Structure 1
Amino acid sequence: MLDYDLEARRYDETRGGDVRAEAAAAAVGSLLPAGVLRVLDAGAGTGIVSAAVARRGHEVFGLDRSFGMLRYAADRLGGRRMCADVTALPVRDGAFDAVYLMWLLHLVRDSEAAVAECVRVLRPGGVLVTSVDVHLAHQGVPSDVTAVLGRHATAGWPADQRDGRQRVTAAAQAAGAVPTAECTYLGYGRGMSPRAAAASARRGVDLAASVDDDRRDACVAELEALPDQEVRRPDPDYTMVSFTRV
């Protein structure tokens, strides 16, 4: 996993910046019912999406376990920042009208605990919004890069990925929330170039657990042999789902 304290300085510029953040915030907003005021961004990072959601009329609080990320969120969130783990939220029950998890659950070792905590801090009728199946998004956009990754890096992924829709839905229902709605949005700037994909694969990022060193090296070699090494391939569509606390 990346060291997000070190990654914070260049995080936004390498992940679509304001354009991607606005698209993500619009997706979150489309799944929030009227009247939602207090919103928790669990996994807020630099606060770039938090700020975009706040511009839509919500009072947004940002939480992240990375001090480095939260330093960059200061200008966007002010004092509405918390450094904590999403599996142990330092928040009372029913404190928020909505909670959203943007590109987070695939990184959390115990995603069920994270979902349960997010449901806990919702008021009755409150809404949880989360990304699901993040790893599958690139595979939905055919390219030479995703073809190589599909053969070597992502083959063998189990059906119950940490942010897999079925797994997340089961966790939400167990915590007392019911499925409500879903949407997709374009991940601007997230299309991968061969060089970027090779660098990620070399570090073991986004590889199935079944991928050994030989297979990883073969994946990297094929990616490095592709043409137009610096050219990003098409951006993926991400899926978000919502759940309502009963």
Structure 2
Amino acid sequence: MDVSSKGLTMPSFQRKGSNILIRRAQYSDIPFMANIAAAEFRDSDLNKFLCPYRHQYPDHFNRRFLQMFQARHFDPRSIGFVAVEPSSPHKPVAYIHLTRFGDDEQARRLIAAQDSLWRRLCHRLLQLRTMIVNYLWPDRSTDHDAARQFDESAKRDSEKYWGSDEMRAKYGNRWHVRGLVVSSSHQRRGVGQALMAEVLQRAQQEGVVVGLEASGDGEKLYRLLGFEMRGPFSMIVGPPVGGFMMWTPK
């Protein structure tokens, strides 16, 4: 399903440093992004809990990320960026996914710019294909009881930190980082900070906060960028690190 030429205008490459370029993510980037996420998260404490059979069924494990990124691609509130090397501009080495919540002018403008009949049709077709694939080839990498337990906990946390009437009144208009992953070969080279700059610049210009759920490793980077911890996860899998963090514009 190639939608890159149907109503989707991809901005030109932007240089961030001497050896890394940051550009908008395209549909053709999704397999690379899924592979990066699967490789970096394969043996995380969370996926040891959620996907105990990931090594027996690696394709099923990778498919979870692939389908997640495909769905986000067609969300008119979401945008993505990838980091690439100039010598391999079509092979991402890192990515970030962002979602713009709220109903202020900037949020409406983003939705209007990204929503189209063609994208809606592609999204419907993708949903149908995903449903058929998952029915014919169920995910065997995942412990579905563990996944349900985690999803229920995540919903409670989301309501507590973002979804209640009080939190929506305060932070309903915000950018939310859905995922930031840098491949091992390119870590500690400033790539994560370059990708985060894309959302922080937007949030500063629009005067809204940035929220995210941080892993233990991610927490270190986010604190350096000015994020503050709002609270821990209610369900702890592995060491009690990370949690819900927020950045406030100056």
Same fold (TM over 0.5): no
What band does the TM-score fall into relative to the shorter chain? under 0.3
Q: TM-score, normalised by structure 1?
A: 0.27
Q: TM-score, normalised by structure 2?
A: 0.27
Q: Which has a greater percent of helix? A: 2
